[in-house]
Structure 1
Amino acid sequence: MNINCIKNSLLMVLFAFCITSCKKNNTQHFEAISETKNTVDVLSYVDPFIGTGFHGHTYPGPVMPHGMVQLSPDTKLNGWDASSGYHNDDTTIYGFSHTHLSGTGIGDMGDVLLLPFTGTSNEKPVATFSKKNEHAEVGVYSVKFDNYQVKAELAVTERVGMHKYTYSKDAKKRLLFDLGHTLQRTWSNSNIANEIEFVDNKTIRGLKQTTGWANDNKVYFYAEFSSPFQIETVNVDSINTDTSKKIYKATDIYSYLNFESLENESLFVKVGISYVDYDGAKKNLKSELPHWDFNRVQQNAKDVWEKELQRIAVTTNNEETLITFYTALYHSMIAPMIYQDTDGRYRGMDKAIHQAQEGQVNYTVYSLWDTFRALHPLMTIIDEPSAINWANNLLLKYEQGGLLPKWPLVSNYTGTMVGYPAVANIADALTKNLKGIDKELALKAVLTSASYNLDLLKPIKEPRKERLMTLHNKFINEGKHIPSDKIGASVTYGLENAYYDWCIAQIAKQNNNNELATAFEKRALNYKLYFDAETGFMRGKNEDGSWVTPFNPKYSNHENSDYVEGNAWQWTWFVPHDIDGFSRLFKNKEQYIAKLDSLFTTSSIIDGDNASGDITGLIGQYAHGNEPSHHISYLYTYAGQPWKTQELVDQILKEFYTTKPDGIIGNEDCGQMSAWYIMSAMGFYQVAPGDPTYVIGRPLFDTVTIPLTNNKAFTIITKKNSAENKYVQKVTLNGKELKDLFFTHNDIKAGGTLTIEMGNSPQK
């Protein structure tokens, strides 16, 4: 990637404008209220290769903000580090497919794969490449193969992928068109049906249907070629068959095409997709990409992304920090993804085809257990219209499917992860007074999630539907602790659901239902049932009330213990809604702080032969690579020792986020890892979504300006900011000194200036 920056100069990226965001043809549009222009090309600070190494699980190919098409190379097909289909260590490419997940810990998709190749071999082609011949930036991906005489370039609209293949003049110009290709085939994903129709010698359409993490995923496509093709081979379920037919149906189909009439010009291919039907794929292509101007497509993507990335403006003389920040902002705007055709049709959670209402956009890929913590709170600040849309979309999924989703993937309930995290998103939106969300419907939906009524699962046609309402709910509804000897993950579910119940209490208050609010506030205190005062840890408890033994707080058994993706050290601190109450479970404040200190200073050894691979980014037993730890460094400020928060946040920002491919310390998780960085680098964090309070940490930037949708802006000015000056000395809000290091969402909405003065010694 080329970073065009002026070194050792103060980069003035101040904006004096506000963004008004609306949806028109499902594309973000912006209206500036000032003629002031950005003096720096923010796009030059985005490196799509960040996160493609280690276990970041991102991909480098082009995508529009929240786009339905994610066109990227597939270099790895199976295993955890193939979750996005790409890993930076690889030097082979199986082809370019049109759908991918960004930073997840489970893989799926990889639909409709194309690979240009040359030569006469009839073996299924795999391209090799050198990293020096690979390039990615916003809206652009290109690679030159080593073993084939081809340069491939990729571009996208929201629902269409565009390919440009430049073959060597004298080479035999061929193309693999592969419907059978899937990611994670040997792990979880398999084909149900492939359908391909050769409409004419420039057009192919078809259907790819798979079962995997998404139990039933239908992807329709419509492909147009700039040059006529000849069909060399059609391989149907591993057998080469007659090439004279127009339509083929099987479970696994791929074809070789050649382009004899193609001479000096490049081959262009446009592939529109739809999750609705054949006509939807064709309409999406015709409406979004009626031309063949490849450069125009790339430039349009850049223009849209530039406006999106201007939602936050920062100044600093540290270029690497700018790259990390704007790449994080880019990653935070990939999911949720649009799941709706240009004509407004979409497949709902009930599997039926629906028509979107005016102003409505349907989305999918909500990694809720991850993103409720920072991604969605971030968007309530910088993109309020989308935050409202997503809250309403979750409620729509409840209405159509019968339950709020945990991790909706296309039109499927996957039931992945813990509890009922959608309530946190909804509670946060309502307590921040975001307009246009049905409070009564919200309360009805969240109460359903917190219930234990298996009859509600009967209409849902999903093999994993029992994950939507687990046995943990039964014990909670009976007022009991979750017994470790009866059901797994008891501590994690006990702690998380206590927080979600607190979120429900906030939603009940929004509905002026004080009786219900009181009942769920009581349920929210159930976290105390798992606290062992003798050891100072949250522990598993048997049905008879005895503690589970033996007990080792460093022990992890992935998905087979009392703790999900972690251990007692990491999970003990998940009480974001009642920090003071939790601290009082210790003998005194000093004991609580000493326990918190020991989290960060104890050995980082994780015990257990099947320890979770998600436990990464360790400081002591604190694990920044996984979401349950993300709020913990800010607990010191609540405990009256904010300098420890500032030291830790400074360390995490600088050591666990870098500009290298391995620069994300754990799974990116659809923007959550990046959102933590964005908020923390700006200088604040929200510990408990549902409580619209922000705690000040350690800002990295000299200035931050956030244009708001109410024609105002919120600015953060950090004085005496330097690597050495990492301690907050004084904070003022609009000229008035704050007595503590907290402010509210209303303070942001009102606009104004937060001024933070830094120093090189702790302010105690």
Structure 2
Amino acid sequence: MGVQACQPTPSLERIPRSTADVTQWVNPFIGTTNEGNTHPGAALPWGLAAATPHTINFRNRATNPAVYRYGDPYIYGFGSVNLSGLGCPIAGAVPLKFSRGEFQWDITHFESTYSKEEATPGYYNVQLDKHQLQVAMTATQRSTRFKVIPQEGTAPLNLMLDIGANMSHKKGGGVNLVNEQLVTGFQHDGSFCGVKKNAKIYFAMKVHTKPTSVQMLENKQQSSKRSVEGAQAGVLWVFDPVDQPVEVSVGISFVSTENALQNLQTEQGVKDFDTLKEEAQQTWNEALSKVEIEGGSEDERTVFYTALYHSLFLPHVISDVNGAYKNNETDSVYMAEGYTRYSTYSLWDTYRSLHPLLSLLYPKQECDMVQSMIEMYKEGGWLPKWELFGYDTYVMVGDPAVPVITDTYLKGITDFDAETALEAMLKGASVREHNPIRPGNQHYLDLGYIPIDDRGGDPQQFTFTNGIVWGPVSTTLEYNFADYNIAQLAKALGKEDLYQKYYKQSMSFTKLYDSETSFFRPKRKDGSWMQPFDPLDRHFDIRWKMSGGKGFVEGNAWQYNFFVPHAIDSLRALMGEKVFYEKLQRLFDEGQFDLTNEPDITYPYLFNYIKGKEQLTQRYIQEETAEHYTNSPDGIPGNDDAGTLSAWLVFAQLGIFPDAPGIPIYQLTTPKFQKTVLHLDEYVYGGKQVVLEKTGRQGSYFSHALLKDGTKVDRFRVGHQQLLNSGGITYQMDSVEVQQASM
């Protein structure tokens, strides 16, 4: 399938810059507690494969989305497909288990305390104390490599492929013995967030060390078959005597076992473990050194670069080395011609901070991600909502592909099929019924909002695919924001009538604004307000814990009080300047600002909209980052949501933050470091450098800023192109303390 493709460029630009190894300032253990759901395993930027320890027994049903939690007592095994910072269990695929002595199926045979953990970008190493085995691992884009080194004792070493011990709720698979050192097979995977859709993860596994014996296992027992299937199946290799390291490689594909083997052979070839490890580190160093910082303590540098590191896991590459990929919605295999196909789009989260960061620092990858979304529409009829492994789960709310595509285009990354993108957006926005992207769209189009008393069914029966609306107020506001972005892309493409129509539609949030309470609140179909209304309500609007107050998604009316990112000036006029400021101040004073979840993460920057109160943006950003981001396992404030919270921190510490997708403007705050240099790609940005630095008395806040071309920054904000053309910003620091006087 030919496409209008993003222009070819090396996967990571080799721009001359500091020779420092910035990977030394990455701590992969950050975010592995406090429900951050990151992992310390070995992977490459946007890699499909990730070699990761499992501290949970996944033979049982997964009870949370983490494959690894720092401080858990045992390691049970290691997987080769593991995703970072998600909200529901998935993957953990191709689980390998290592033990010593006489093999037993029981999980207690494998569980082991562990010590001497070491993790750096592209590498993880640990000692399994019970088995006296050192297990090291690294990865390429589509394959993993394990090296198992016996420590003490002479007991035989067991290597088991445990086909049913993946993290996913969907268990089992099949494996075929090609020869004693090569097996191929597949693993079932699916039921993400309760959505009954599935995929097959194909693998080819090569054992580099000749074993003493190989046994096929089925129903927990040894089998004489060369091919076995089921949730209690696998392969056992025994090495006796165990007098040398045992190495294992795993190739991954979503197309076929043949492609998995080709991925493995192409990416690893005859390279040894150490070479692969060094190449992984070099790849990460090239990716992370796009940002060069001066100043800051060791901990501060580590927090920053780890946040950038966590921003580069998802979406991940899914096309094979030959370009093939599987669309599980159409059950068809396609070829990615002229672009790299990506998968796993947590778009409700990532449109807010992650994709704007990728647009700035990694425009080629962002272009391919957008082209991937457009191809999903061409193949299956809809833009993605929460696409995973070749199918859409439709998880969360809104129409979140739209702001990603529009914002990318407005940033000057235009080497994709924008006309087809607009066509896809218009379909999602106009289909009135049985619309998987926009449930409740008929009421939204007719009334300008989704009523609380007609949501398409009983909210206690809600699923992501049955058309029932979760949080009518939140969903309406999300549709408004998407419509604004449709309008902006239409305008950029010269379609004035469409611009006017969708801009007008984007302003219907006024119908849900109650001037008496100064909140957005649920409204009935007849136009009356839902009674009673409590803006602090957090009880379960749907059957899930923490689902949000009635009418809202994962939040209450306070967290959505300012959620019209495309129309903040209009909201100020609607509320009145005094109420807008007082409500915004109360949000922080009364503890209603919630950095752990997405709807309100831009709110500290709203003080930049209020003349004389701009330093409150700087104050709250500094307070929130100092409190919630640390060089420790709990150093992310909550679920990283596919890199969203990490990307938020990167922008906050750079001193620029995207105003909103579809509005190519950055709000300014105090940079964390004395000087930061952004080394931009040749692709789109012509290899420019952007310098962000502080000067003056080095107080806590800056009073004004100058562009590097001498222009004074107006209203504490700067346009995307203006920033690039000027070469950067100088922030004039003062010692003046921020004031909170009333207006």
Q: TM-score, normalised by structure 1?
A: 0.88
Q: Which amino acid aligns with 1:755?
A: T
How much has 1:211 moved relative to structure 2? 3.0
* Alpha-carbon distance in 1 for matches of 2:595, 2:370: 27
The one-character-per-residue Cα deviations of 1:80-99 (angstroms, maximum 9, x if unpaired) are 87313111131211210111
Answering whether residue 133 of structure 2 is matched by residue 154 of structure 1, we say: no
* Alpha-carbon distance in 2 for matches of 1:728, 1:300: 45
In the alignment, which of 661, 665, 668 is matched to residue 689 of structure 1? 661
How much has 1:257 moved relative to structure 2? 2.3
Change over 3 Å in CA distance of 1:267–1:367 after alignment to 2? same
Where does structure 1 lack aligned partners over 5 or more consecutive residues? 1-20, 458-465, 603-619
* Alpha-carbon distance in 1 for matches of 2:624, 2:220: 53
* Alpha-carbon distance in 1 for matches of 2:25, 2:633: 14
* Alpha-carbon distance in 1 for matches of 2:85, 2:541: 20
Change over 3 Å in CA distance of 1:683–1:558 after alignment to 2? farther
- What SS does the aligned partner of 1:395 have? helix
Q: Which amino acid aligns with 2:428?
A: S
Other-structure match for 1:405? 384
- What SS does the aligned partner of 1:571 have? coil
Other-structure match for 2:55? 75
* Alpha-carbon distance in 1 for matches of 2:210, 2:349: 46
* Alpha-carbon distance in 1 for matches of 2:291, 2:582: 37
State how 1:50-89 maps to structure 2 within 5 Å.
50-76=30-56, 77=58, 82-89=64-71
How much has 1:600 moved relative to structure 2? 0.8
In the alignment, which of 123, 132, 149 is matched to residue 140 of structure 1? 123
* Alpha-carbon distance in 1 for matches of 2:381, 2:232: 34
Answering whether residue 624 of structure 2 is matched by residue 652 of structure 1, we say: yes
Other-structure match for 2:545? none
Change over 3 Å in CA distance of 1:653–1:58 after alignment to 2? same
State how 1:527-542 maps to structure 2 within 5 Å.
527-542=509-524
* Alpha-carbon distance in 2 for matches of 1:263, 1:521: 69
* Alpha-carbon distance in 2 for matches of 1:666, 1:550: 31
How much has 1:523 moved relative to structure 2? 0.8
Other-structure match for 1:375? 354
* Alpha-carbon distance in 2 for matches of 1:667, 1:760: 35
Other-structure match for 1:627? 598
Other-structure match for 1:7? none
Q: Is the 8 A contact 1:729 1:763 kept in 2?
A: no
State how 1:127-276 maps to structure 2 within 5 Å.
127-128=110-111, 132-167=115-150, 168-184=152-168, 189-191=169-171, 194-213=173-192, 215-230=197-212, 234-236=216-218, 238-242=219-223, 244-260=224-240, 262-276=241-255
State how 1:282-297 maps to structure 2 within 5 Å.
282-291=261-270, 293-297=272-276
- What SS does the aligned partner of 2:558 have? helix
Other-structure match for 2:3? none
Answering whether residue 25 of structure 2 is matched by residue 48 of structure 1, we say: no
Q: Is the 8 A contact 2:386 2:394 kept in 1?
A: yes
Where does structure 2 lack aligned partners over 5 or more consecutive residues? 1-5, 456-469, 543-549
How much has 1:300 moved relative to structure 2? 0.4
Q: Which amino acid aligns with 1:270?
A: S
Q: Is the 8 A contact 1:231 1:258 kept in 2?
A: yes
Other-structure match for 1:113? 95
How much has 1:407 moved relative to structure 2? 0.8
Other-structure match for 1:463? none
The one-character-per-residue Cα deviations of 1:597-624 (angstroms, maximum 9, x if unpaired) are 111112xxxxxxxxxxxxxxxxx10000
Other-structure match for 2:547? none
Percent identity over paired residues:
30
Q: TM-score, normalised by structure 2?
A: 0.91
Other-structure match for 1:315? 294
Bigger shift: 739-748 or 620-629?
A: 739-748
The one-character-per-residue Cα deviations of 1:65-87 (angstroms, maximum 9, x if unpaired) are 10110110111247887313111
How much has 1:195 moved relative to structure 2? 1.4
In the alignment, which of 408, 424, 431 is matched to residue 452 of structure 1? 431
How much has 1:258 moved relative to structure 2? 0.8
* Alpha-carbon distance in 2 for matches of 1:570, 1:298: 44
Other-structure match for 2:335? 355
Other-structure match for 1:702? 674
* Alpha-carbon distance in 2 for matches of 1:129, 1:756: 52
* Alpha-carbon distance in 2 for matches of 1:66, 1:721: 41
Other-structure match for 1:607? none
* Alpha-carbon distance in 1 for matches of 2:221, 2:315: 40
In the alignment, which of 554, 557, 563 is matched to residue 552 of structure 2? 563
The one-character-per-residue Cα deviations of 1:217-259 (angstroms, maximum 9, x if unpaired) are 11111111122335565442x34143x2211133441233211
Residues matched between the structures, number: 700
Q: Is the 8 A contact 1:51 1:664 kept in 2?
A: yes
The one-character-per-residue Cα deviations of 1:233-286 (angstroms, maximum 9, x if unpaired) are 5442x34143x22111334412332112x5421000011111101110111111
Q: Is the 8 A contact 2:163 2:231 kept in 1?
A: no
* Alpha-carbon distance in 2 for matches of 1:116, 1:199: 21
- What SS does the aligned partner of 2:660 have? coil
How much has 1:468 moved relative to structure 2? 2.6
* Alpha-carbon distance in 2 for matches of 1:409, 1:543: 35
Change over 3 Å in CA distance of 1:130–1:699 after alignment to 2? farther
Q: Which amino acid aligns with 2:34?
A: F
Other-structure match for 2:312? 333
Other-structure match for 2:692? 716
In the alignment, which of 514, 532, 538 is matched to residue 496 of structure 2? 514
Q: Which amino acid aligns with 2:405?
A: I
* Alpha-carbon distance in 1 for matches of 2:504, 2:191: 39
How much has 1:654 moved relative to structure 2? 1.2
Q: Is the 8 A contact 1:68 1:337 kept in 2?
A: yes
Q: Is the 8 A contact 2:709 2:727 kept in 1?
A: yes
Q: Which amino acid aligns with 1:61?
A: G
Answering whether residue 720 of structure 2 is matched by residue 745 of structure 1, we say: yes
* Alpha-carbon distance in 1 for matches of 2:618, 2:61: 37
Q: Is the 8 A contact 1:71 1:155 kept in 2?
A: yes
Q: Is the 8 A contact 1:427 1:507 kept in 2?
A: yes
Change over 3 Å in CA distance of 1:147–1:87 after alignment to 2? same
Bigger shift: 395-404 or 86-95?
A: 86-95
Q: Is the 8 A contact 1:728 1:762 kept in 2?
A: no
Q: Is the 8 A contact 1:80 1:105 kept in 2?
A: no
Answering whether residue 638 of structure 2 is matched by residue 666 of structure 1, we say: yes
Change over 3 Å in CA distance of 1:730–1:304 after alignment to 2? closer
Bigger shift: 74-83 or 200-209?
A: 74-83
- What SS does the aligned partner of 2:606 have? helix
Change over 3 Å in CA distance of 1:45–1:344 after alignment to 2? same
The one-character-per-residue Cα deviations of 1:497-552 (angstroms, maximum 9, x if unpaired) are 11111011001101211111111111111111111111111111111222222222
Answering whether residue 596 of structure 2 is matched by residue 592 of structure 1, we say: no
Other-structure match for 2:74? 92
- What SS does the aligned partner of 2:206 have? strand
* Alpha-carbon distance in 2 for matches of 1:728, 1:396: 46
How much has 1:121 moved relative to structure 2? 5.0
In the alignment, which of 527, 540, 543 is matched to residue 525 of structure 2? 543
* Alpha-carbon distance in 1 for matches of 2:237, 2:296: 52
Q: Which amino acid aligns with 2:515?
A: A
The one-character-per-residue Cα deviations of 1:26-57 (angstroms, maximum 9, x if unpaired) are x724333x4xx525320100000000011100
